[in-house]
């Protein structure tokens, strides 16, 4: 029997909703973990539905088939609308569009199997029984997990695989783990102290609450260990420290420490324009912060080369490459951004803040050379040849501290899960476990995703975005291009680049998953 997809699809609606999805952020599954080649959920949902539902022309006379097809198209137009799908409770509830879609799939399955169809979308038992017999969905190159996730949303069995272990973990976190602990109340003692018998935690809502709880614990523990590296400025919490790489001026009569700055802009917001003004005093460049129309000096380096602000000599990129390969690139603090009651504040750098940052001593770093591809990975051309070169010492300290704390949090979840009554079967997540050990590992997966997200905003390849006045992420595109000036986030803040923000992104995505 021909399926709907073989005859026609409401392409306009599918395209429109697929394009719109790119701008949807909070609570969307795509925010769980970065994946580049992400496919729109809307098109996967539409294609799965239309591949399983019979074309009405197969069982109705022409005129009736046309009307029935139109009715199915109307349903599909709602089915691709994220706003009607994003809350699984509503979408699966009475008059919910997912429930309606499952009913239509079940009707086609009944026709193919010669079994009794469900009486209505409310006939959940019959629908479930028929969906059990649906052909399973297999996605051998599942990538970001779009197809298995949407298969699960429609009540279908899905199998997924990928060669990339990151993709495999994303798929497990999207589809497999939430289903395994669906309905499980949180195990953290904070919740248990005020638990009510009437509490309900549908799907992964309990797990998401635990991710928030242990994420907050990690933040406080990290603050205790390394908080001294992140001082306030003038009583305000710092959002970001803005740095400029430096190179010795090639002019032998000068040799000044020349800051390499792509742009001195701090805020391009209309009416709130702020920028850094470099000043030369006794052969050394100093920075102050000014409001005004535009910066007197746009920058000191571009694709063609740089310029020394002290003597005006040109600085060739070849010179920068040579100095970089000799390990002689430095860094200067250029400005500090803080958050106050009135919004963002911009400050000139202080010696204290520069010294605190430079005094951080990492006890581990990823000394792994990266590929020498000068098209997509340019830092090595300037002597930054190892992954560890892409971080400030303070970033390395913070990232290793938070990463260590994931393992500690996992042990704590394990103990709390035992107290909450989860079985002590010792069976790990990877072996199908559902007990305390597996639950702790599950929480660890999502906390580790938080580290991934933190990493994406904690590298010296993160530039300051003066338009959005926030830290840009490393993977603006699928490349690691060299940066001259860069922004170092405060993981203990509340703005972009903070640990709290990362955990919240993950928890929000997790609690909105259909499982
Ligand atoms: Zn010079």
Note the pLDDT tens digit of each residue in 184-206.
Answer: 999 999 999 999 999 999 999 99
pLDDT tens readout for residues 453-486: 999 999 999 999 999 999 999 987 788 999 999 9
Q: What is the 313 CA–ligand 1 centroid distance (Å)?
A: 5
User: Which residues, including other chains, have CB under 8 Å from residue 334's CB and lie 6 or more apart?
Assistant: 242, 243, 244, 259, 261, 276, 287, 349, 485
Q: What is the 255 CA–ligand 1 centroid distance (Å)?
A: 6
Q: What is the 501 CA–ligand 1 centroid distance (Å)?
A: 42
What pLDDT is attached to residue 267? 96
Q: What is the 319 CA–ligand 1 centroid distance (Å)?
A: 13
Phi and psi at 105, nearest 5°, equal -65, -45
The residues with which 369 forms a beta bridge, in sequence order, are 386
Q: What is the 300 CA–ligand 1 centroid distance (Å)?
A: 12
What pLDDT is attached to residue 506? 96
What pLDDT is attached to residue 232? 96
Q: What is the 301 CA–ligand 1 centroid distance (Å)?
A: 14
- The pLDDT > 90 percentage for the chain reads 90
User: Which residues, including other chains, have CB under 8 Å from residue 74's CB and lie 6 or more apart?
Assistant: none
- The pLDDT > 70 percentage for the chain reads 100
Residue boundaries of the structural domains of the chain = 4-137
Tokens of 396: 């390395």
Q: What is the 250 CA–ligand 1 centroid distance (Å)?
A: 7
d(CA 25, CA 28): 6
pLDDT tens readout for residues 265-281: 999 999 999 999 999 99
Q: What is the 169 CA–ligand 1 centroid distance (Å)?
A: 51
Q: What is the 307 CA–ligand 1 centroid distance (Å)?
A: 8
pLDDT tens readout for residues 414-436: 999 999 999 999 999 999 999 99
Neighbours of 427 (CB within 10 A): 15
d(CA 43, CA 13): 10
Q: What is the 256 CA–ligand 1 centroid distance (Å)?
A: 5
pLDDT at 161 over 90: yes
Q: What is the 251 CA–ligand 1 centroid distance (Å)?
A: 5
Which band of pLDDT confidence, cut at 50, 70 and 90, is reported for residue 296?
very high
pLDDT tens readout for residues 82-118: 999 998 889 998 889 999 999 999 999 999 999 999 9
Mean pLDDT for the stretch of residues 249-268: 97
Q: What is the 317 CA–ligand 1 centroid distance (Å)?
A: 15
d(CA 185, CA 192): 9
d(CA 227, CA 223): 4
* Residue given tokens 């997912």 in the structure block: 98
User: Is-contact 211 443, C-beta < 8 A?
Assistant: yes
d(CA 332, CA 354): 8
Mean pLDDT of the chain: 95
Which band of pLDDT confidence, cut at 50, 70 and 90, is reported for residue 63?
very high
Q: What is the 486 CA–ligand 1 centroid distance (Å)?
A: 22
pLDDT at 138 over 80: yes
d(CA 420, CA 460): 42
pLDDT tens readout for residues 382-402: 999 999 999 999 999 999 999
Mean pLDDT for the stretch of residues 179-186: 96
Which band of pLDDT confidence, cut at 50, 70 and 90, is reported for residue 452?
very high
Q: What is the 312 CA–ligand 1 centroid distance (Å)?
A: 6
Q: What is the 285 CA–ligand 1 centroid distance (Å)?
A: 10
Q: What is the 248 CA–ligand 1 centroid distance (Å)?
A: 8
What pLDDT is attached to residue 311? 97
d(CA 256, CA 500): 40
E strands within 82-156?
137-139
Q: What is the 284 CA–ligand 1 centroid distance (Å)?
A: 10
Q: What is the 297 CA–ligand 1 centroid distance (Å)?
A: 16
d(CA 137, CA 208): 27
Q: What is the 330 CA–ligand 1 centroid distance (Å)?
A: 15
pLDDT at 51 over 80: yes
């Amino acid at each position: 029997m021909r399926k709907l997809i073989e005859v026609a699809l409401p392409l306009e609606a599918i395209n429109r909703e697929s394009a719109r999805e790119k701008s949807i952020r909070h609570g969307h599954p795509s925010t769980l973990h970065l994946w580049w080649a992400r496919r729109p959920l809307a098109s996967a949902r539409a294609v799965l539905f239309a591949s399983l539902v019979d074309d009405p022309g197969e069982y109705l006379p022409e005129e009736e088939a046309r009307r029935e097809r139109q009715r199915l198209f109307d349903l599909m137009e709602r089915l691709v609308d994220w706003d009607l799908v994003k809350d699984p409770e509503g979408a699966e509830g009475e008059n919910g569009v997912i429930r309606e879609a499952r009913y239509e799939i079940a009707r086609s399955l009944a026709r193919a199997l010669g079994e009794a169809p469900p009486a209505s979308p409310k006939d959940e038992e019959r629908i479930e029984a028929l969906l059990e017999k649906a052909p399973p969905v297999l996605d051998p190159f599942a990538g970001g997990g779009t197809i298995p996730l949407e298969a699960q949303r429609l009540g279908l069995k899905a199998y997924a695989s990928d060669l990339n272990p990151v993709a495999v973990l994303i798929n497990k976190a999207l589809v497999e783990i939430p289903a395994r602990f669906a309905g499980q109340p949180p195990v953290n003692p904070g919740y248990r102290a005020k638990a009510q018998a009437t509490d309900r935690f549908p799907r992964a809502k309990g797990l998401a609450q635990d991710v928030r709880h242990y994420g907050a614990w990690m933040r406080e523990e990290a603050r205790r260990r390394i908080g001294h590296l992140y001082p306030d400025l003038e009583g305000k919490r710092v959002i970001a420290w803005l740095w400029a790489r430096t190179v010795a001026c090639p002019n032998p009569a000068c040799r000044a420490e020349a800051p390499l700055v792509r742009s001195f802009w701090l805020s391009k917001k209309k009416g709130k324009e702020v920028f850094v003004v470099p000043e030369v005093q006794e052969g050394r460049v100093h920075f102050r912060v000014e409001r005004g129309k535009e910066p007197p000096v746009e920058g000191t380096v571009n694709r063609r080369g740089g310029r020394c602000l002290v003597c005006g000599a040109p600085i060739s990129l070849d010179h920068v490459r040579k100095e970089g390969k000799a390990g002689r690139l430095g860094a200067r603090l250029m400005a500090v951004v803080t958050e106050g009651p009135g919004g963002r504040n911009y400050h000139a750098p202080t010696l204290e803040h520069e010294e605190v940052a430079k005094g951080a001593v990492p006890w581990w770093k990823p000394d792994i050379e990266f590929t020498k591809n000068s098209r997509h990975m340019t830092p090595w051309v300037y002597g930054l040849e190892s992954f560890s070169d892409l971080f400030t010492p303070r970033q390395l300290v913070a990232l290793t501290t938070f990463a260590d704390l994931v393992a500690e949090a996992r042990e704590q979840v394990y103990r709390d899960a035992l107290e909450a009554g989860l079985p002590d079967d010792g069976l790990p997540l990877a072996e199908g476990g559902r007990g305390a050990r597996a639950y702790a590992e599950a929480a660890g997966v999502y906390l580790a995703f938080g580290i991934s997200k933190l990493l994406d905003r904690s590298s010296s390849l993160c530039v300051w975005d003066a338009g959005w006045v926030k830290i840009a992420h490393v993977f603006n595109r699928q490349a690691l291009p060299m940066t001259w000036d860069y922004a170092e986030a405060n993981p203990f803040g509340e703005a972009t680049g903070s640990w709290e923000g990362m955990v919240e992104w993950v928890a929000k995505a997790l609690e909105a998953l259909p499982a």
